[in-house]
Amino acid sequence: MVLGHESAGTIVQVGSSVTTLKPGDRVALEPGYPCRRCGPCLSGRYNLCPEMRFAATPPYHGTLTGFWVSPADFCYKLPDSVTLQEGALIEPLAVAVHIVRQAAVVTPGQSVVVMGAGPVGLLCAAVARAFGASTVVSVDIVESKLSFAKSFCSTHTYSSQRIPAPENASNIRALAPSLAGGADVVIDASGAEPSIQTSLHVVRPGGTYVQGGMGRDEITFPIMALCLKEVTAKGSFRYGSGDYKLAVELVASGKVDVRKLISGVVAFEEAEQAFKKVKEGEVIKILIAGPNEKKE
């Protein structure tokens, strides 16, 4: 099947009823569209639609192709200041926007800990900063990812150790006075069991924990910490109403510089190289030029 779901492109043709877009417009593509009729859709949570047609999710092909057909309202026109390359990164940024919005309480001055410094973890940290959090900690086991996080957006970083979760948590709390009582918000963008356990120990009493990363189906979860601290726990899946729009605005206003995540661009014919490099962990994001893109 055709892979791909992080894409931007140029409109070549529109249907007779489309009034918001015209050929030549550059757009970020939201790669899944829902039924618009079911309970979740009508309640504004279309990412939970059971009839969702999502790119590169069987039986639907992905966007790594020359042409793509999409409903007009799932194409987001890019301002002149935003490039198509940045447009392709609106998708992971929208995932991060949705995750941070799930926390609901990220407001000026708050402290946020993000577990995982892969693309989504980094973008969660950047969105939390953009929303006004004054302390943002990125946690990972790979030093190079942490040094990138520091240059990208995080105020603090922590290299997770092979020690019990409560000890990692107390090390994180020691990073800044604002974390002494625990973090206001903890986001897991790793899906890794030790990170999830640390999350529940590092969140403050009455704080919020959001699960964004996907790992194993079942893990050992410190449920007593959740109960005794009255933690609000939320899941997060893809993105919903307003997330893409906000992601485009964050890039257009310069609040999140997604260009820093782009390690390179390969020709369509060399797409396999991009997957290899990402798998080897050498790069953060590699873009693949579309087959119709003019060669330099």
Sites of contact with Zn ion (CB under 5 A): 34-35, 38, 41, 49
Rounded to whole angstroms, how far apart are CA atoms 207 and 177? 17
Taking CA atoms, 251 is separated from 78, 97, 166, in Å, by: 10, 12, 37
Residue whose beta carbon is closest to Zn ion? 49
Residues 6+ apart with CB under 8 A from 274: 266, 286, 287, 288
Alpha-helix residue ranges (DSSP H) falling in 137-212: 143-152, 165-173, 193-202
26-29: strand order across its sheet: 7-10, 26-29, 75-77
Specify the DSSP class assigned to residue 65: S
The residue among 148 and 244 lying less far from Zn ion, judged by its C-beta, is 244
Min CB(62)–Zn ion separation in Å: 21
Q: Among residues 34 and 87, whose Cβ is nearest to Zn ion? A: 34
Nearer to Zn ion, 38 or 142 (CB): 38
The residues facing 77 across adjacent strands are 27
Can you list the alpha helix ranges (DSSP code H) found in 43-181? 84-88, 90-103, 119-130, 143-152, 165-173
Question: For Zn ion, which is the closer residue by CB, 38 or 226?
Answer: 38
CB of 35 to Zn ion, least distance (A): 4
Q: How far is the CB of 37 from Zn ion (least distance, A)?
A: 6
- What residues contact residue 192 under an 8 Å CB cut-off, 6+ apart? 115, 116, 213, 215
Measured from the CB atom, the residue of 42 and 174 that comes closer to Zn ion is: 42
CB 43 to Zn ion: min, Å: 10
Q: Which residue, 38 or 141, has its beta carbon nearer to Zn ion?
A: 38
Q: Cα 118 to the chain's mean position, in Å?
A: 9
HSE-CB of 254 using CA atoms within 13 angstroms: 1
